[in-house]
Structure 1
């Protein structure tokens, strides 16, 4: 049905006009954009890419070091004291003979201390001599007292032995003899009384003779009783008492001897302790004097053999061998070298050392040389990593040695001690398919790459091998000539997310 706009409401006309105006503006802006920007680019046209190539694959490991001679004689600071200042040093490169003075360290402080310690040593030795003399006097006095009390103990022991074995026995035998004698006399007197009484009864004797015989018997009885009493008194009282007295005297003498011996030992031990303390003082002072003497001698360093002097600078610690600088104990000062063989004493990161082996070739760039590029061969690789310095203990390196190629004449212009940058050839193969390392990334646990094709971007799963920092060996997933997108990892993962098919909604 036809609509008559003439009869339309007047309020709708401005709205229609506004819509027409907006449409014209949009079409105009699109036309201008097309005019200035041209046709729309294909997907991925603004991404950076690099092609997959098939060429020779070369892998190197970087390192650094300095030029030295093969197996030089190293001279280090043997002065076991605080850091010493260098006051004299022979110019680097000088040719020296064995025994020539090469470096002199400041030893004035050590010499002052040595003078003080020598005075202290003299004092200690004098006191030691005095203590040793006193110890001898104490020992002599102890011997005298010990001999005196030993003699007293011997006398007491001899008295006891003499009484026990001789005097006591003789006295007992004497009293026993007297007892037997008086008993016999009493028996004879008693028998005489009986005979006299019998004769008187027969009329042959007188009363006077009988009385005299009885009086004699009584006298003999009293003598017998006295002898028996003396024997009993001796056996039960006098002899045991004398024996106990002599035993007591002997025991006291032994105790006195033991006491004097212990007292002498204590006095001698005290004197010996004092002497030992003084000896310790002397030994300690003598040891310090010897230590200072050796340290002073070590401040003058001599060449152990003939050759060329090369300073052992520690550039990474800013420790240079020069007059006025300080060196610590065991720090290498210089090397005595000959130039028949030159080596690079270098180091390589512990993260890369697993690729380095003895016998590998190396390109070497030596600083401060007109033609500083030479070649060499790895001759030794350290097994234990070490920190480059104390303030970066987690940055570890393995030491290595590279023997320079060439005759002594060809290497004559190379300055010993020059720094060198080395590039060790660890892998070299031909006809290897390689992709840019920056284009390989991990996507959901799979190594992947994004390839730009005429149809757009394409996600590939890849299997890779070794890399040299720029390119990486490819076994599967890429072909020669493929344009691999090289962007940062975040950008590559974002692109891969858009390229992956949507998950199933089962």
Structure 2
């Protein structure tokens, strides 16, 4: 009977111990966050934000001939909102025509003056040539009269006859010279008329060209697409009130939405990892569910200082391998560039790694107890790290330090 009681008591004690250890283990798991050691592919990625843009776009330019007329700076008076979908021939915007209208008015005043000079020259020419023709007629009449008088003087003394003959010869010579002078003056008059007439034609042509140029101050699209604003030299987008010049004539652009890229800037630390040809994944802040594949196409060799920052940044271009109808130029992108990949490796979260005296270790669940196990580490990214030795697949590690284990010794690697 005593033996049965003793066995019964021992059984109860064993049950209590097992229950204590079981619930103590559950308390550890409830109080501490844990994770399993996983085997898989390790991805070392660089995370940088950027801006979506088209790799191919057609610029919509303002008037290209304005420079011929001394117009170098033209303000944008009106512009459709960015993102507007336009058809071919659709309205884009309007430029300020005040300076051009002033030149048209000046040209019209110059035309009035030139036409007045033309009329005056025409009248002067008509009067001058008329006087010359009258003088020629008078000399012709004088010759006829002298010849008639000579015929009536056949019975006059020879001296009188000779005097009349000399007079006729002189008058005929004067007539010949007068006709020659008339021909020269007529040519001179024609030349002057051509000169003033050319000036009139020149000004008329200038006015026609200015009026044609005036039509170009209302901008229409040469193709269909989505309007995006272009950037000025300082990086600001052109908008109403901005200025276009002969050297920067674009007022807007029509990007090819089938050819997109992400323009990003990397810091000096990450740029060492980024190479041309690396794969990338591009997300979009406006559409969290969209993630597209891409590839790095360009990495700047020289850094630049961006506005509002003193840090040198390096431009990186990532081409999108696919498109999505929701993606638009100017959208903020989240880029993950895959710089390295290692397959079939053991990994744990970064939070599971602890260190003491240059020794890295992890808190590992071992049955109903917890071990402090030294581990050999490999590469890491922002979330996980490779474990080269010290842990096995499916081992459970703690993400925070369990209580009352500070004095426990670390199990070192062999």
TM-score when scaled to structure 2? 0.48
More strand by share: 2
Query: Which has the larger helix fraction?
Result: 1
TM-score, normalization by structure 1: 0.41
Answer with 1 or 2: which has the greater Rg.
1
